[in-house]
């Protein structure tokens, strides 16, 4: 595929400096591997030397890098180069694939009582249950199950293998045997949500499981029954959220992190990868650790001390020996 710089600027904005609108671009590349037909971007000034050495036909830069970028050739000046890059990838994909598909694939199974927006797309081997609702411009890629009564908003994207509305894990013990608690709630997903491959979101036991607008879930995420995820939060792969936990708005949950049930996570909180959250977090910040969870600053100090534990032990032994010797004199 080939486009001209002028087409990119017309579509996405920004100021073209140091080059002509007619320059042809055929790929998006990182600075270090860019060729003469590539467009690249610089979001971190630390990599300015890479930009100077890059063969890219054009580099997207912030206003502060305008003069330096113009010295090497064409550049597009944008307030946030990384966001511009994200929009550029969307533009590129649209040019490659054209208009996105709509309708229901012949191999999909959709219950007659389900409500599917006319411009939504239900892909191959998907299953949409009774009373389910799929909003406008939402795309279900393939092999996705949306169980009875579950709701998905507008402009959502679900990747292959997603399961929405499986039963939550609920059982009562009677004389050593487990009695199933029927899961009578549903899953409600807002607008502009993206859900990665093979992620599972369980229906609520009584109340609903809720995923608010703009949430982004990675592959292989487990969201248990009655969880509430606030708007524009992101959860990376292999993370697990236990039942009835409430994650605030604008939170970031790292890969393989786990949040225990019935906890509350404050708006704007970040959880480092592989951390185990065992208590509610009332103040936003970056939290890290397993036993126990603590602020990232405190965890780094303790981790540094732990790395030197053997040295500290030997020093203590020497001090104890010196004190014992002093007592005997």
What's the pLDDT tens digit per position in 264-318? 999 999 999 999 999 999 999 999 987 677 888 888 888 888 888 888 889 999 9
Burial code (b: 16+ CB inside 10 Å, e: under 16) for 125-135 equals ebbbbeebbbb
Token pair belonging to 305: 């001390």
Whole-angstrom distance, CA of residue 130 vs CA of residue 96: 35
Whole-angstrom distance, CA of residue 216 vs CA of residue 314: 49
The count of other CB atoms within 10 Å of the CB of residue 236 is 20
Residue 179's pLDDT band, with cuts at 50, 70 and 90, is: very high
Identify whether 169 is preceded by a cis peptide bond (ω within 30 of 0).
no
Rg (the chain; Cα; Å): 26
In order, the DSSP letters of 236-291 are -TT-EE-TT-EE-TT-EE-TT-EE-TT-EE-TT-EE-TT-EE-S-B-S-SEEE-SS
Largest pairwise CA distance in the chain: 94
Whole-angstrom distance, CA of residue 163 vs CA of residue 110: 15
Helix (H, G, I), strand (E, B) or coil at 158: strand
Token pair belonging to 44: 């971190």
Task: Note the residue count of the chain.
Answer: 329
Q: Which long-range contacts (CB under 8 A, 24 or more apart) does 204-208 make?
A: 204/168, 205/168, 205/170, 205/181, 205/243
Q: What is the pLDDT of residues 215-249, one digit of tens each?
A: 999 999 999 999 999 999 999 999 999 999 999 99
Do residues 238 and 245 make contact, with C-beta atoms less than 8 angstroms apart? no
Whole-angstrom distance, CA of residue 100 vs CA of residue 211: 25
The count of other CB atoms within 10 Å of the CB of residue 3 is 16
pLDDT, position 128? 98
pLDDT, position 191? 98
Strand partners, 229: 211, 247
- Exactly one of 105, 159, 225, 228 is catalytic; name it: 225
Residue 84's pLDDT band, with cuts at 50, 70 and 90, is: very high
> What stretch of H or E contains 152?
strand 151-152
Do residues 61 and 81 make contact, with C-beta atoms less than 8 angstroms apart? yes
Q: What is the arithmetic mean of pLDDT over 169-198?
A: 98
Looking at every residue in the chain, the average pLDDT score rounds to: 95
The count of other CB atoms within 10 Å of the CB of residue 297 is 12
What's phi and psi for 230, nearest 5 deg? -70, 165
Whole-angstrom distance, CA of residue 156 vs CA of residue 190: 8
Any catalytic annotation for residue 225? Answer: yes
Residue 157's pLDDT band, with cuts at 50, 70 and 90, is: very high
Token pair belonging to 206: 């009584």
């Amino acid at each position: 595929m080939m486009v001209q710089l002028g087409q990119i600027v017309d579509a996405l904005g920004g100021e073209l400096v140091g080059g002509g609108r007619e320059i042809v671009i055929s790929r998006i590349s990182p600075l270090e591997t860019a060729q003469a037909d590539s467009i690249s971007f610089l979001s971190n000034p630390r990599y300015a030397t890479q930009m100077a050495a890059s063969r890219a036909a054009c580099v997207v830069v912030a206003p502060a890098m305008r003069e330096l970028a113009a010295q090497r050739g064409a550049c597009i000046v944008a307030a946030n180069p990384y966001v511009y890059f994200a929009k550029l990838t969307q533009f590129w994909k649209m040019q490659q694939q054209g208009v996105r598909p709509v309708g229901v694939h012949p191999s999909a199974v959709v219950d007659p009582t389900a409500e599917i927006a006319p411009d939504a797309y239900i892909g191959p081997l998907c299953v949409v249950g009774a009373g389910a609702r799929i909003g406008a411009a939402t795309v279900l890629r393939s092999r996705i199950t949306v169980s009875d009564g579950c709701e998905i908003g507008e402009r959502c994207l679900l990747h292959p293998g997603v399961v929405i509305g499986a039963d939550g894990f609920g059982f009562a013990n009677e004389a050593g045997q487990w009695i199933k608690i029927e899961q009578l709630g549903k899953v409600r997903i807002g607008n502009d949500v993206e859900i990665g491959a093979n992620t599972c979101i369980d229906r609520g036991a009584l109340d609903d499981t809720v995923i608010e607008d703009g949430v982004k879930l990675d592959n292989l995420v487990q969201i248990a029954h009655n969880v509430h995820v606030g708007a524009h939060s992101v959860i990376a792969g292999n993370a697990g959220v236990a039942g009835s936990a409430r994650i605030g708005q604008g939170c970031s949950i790292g890969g393989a992190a786990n949040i225990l049930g019935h906890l509350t996570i404050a708006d704007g909180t970040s959880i480092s990868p592989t951390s185990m959250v065992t208590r509610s977090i009332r103040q936003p910040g970056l939290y890290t650790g397993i036993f126990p969870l603590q602020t990232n600053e405190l965890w780094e100090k303790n981790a540094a001390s732990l790395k030197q534990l053997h040295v500290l032990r030997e020093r203590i032994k020497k001090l104890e020996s010196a004190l014992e010797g002093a007592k005997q004199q």
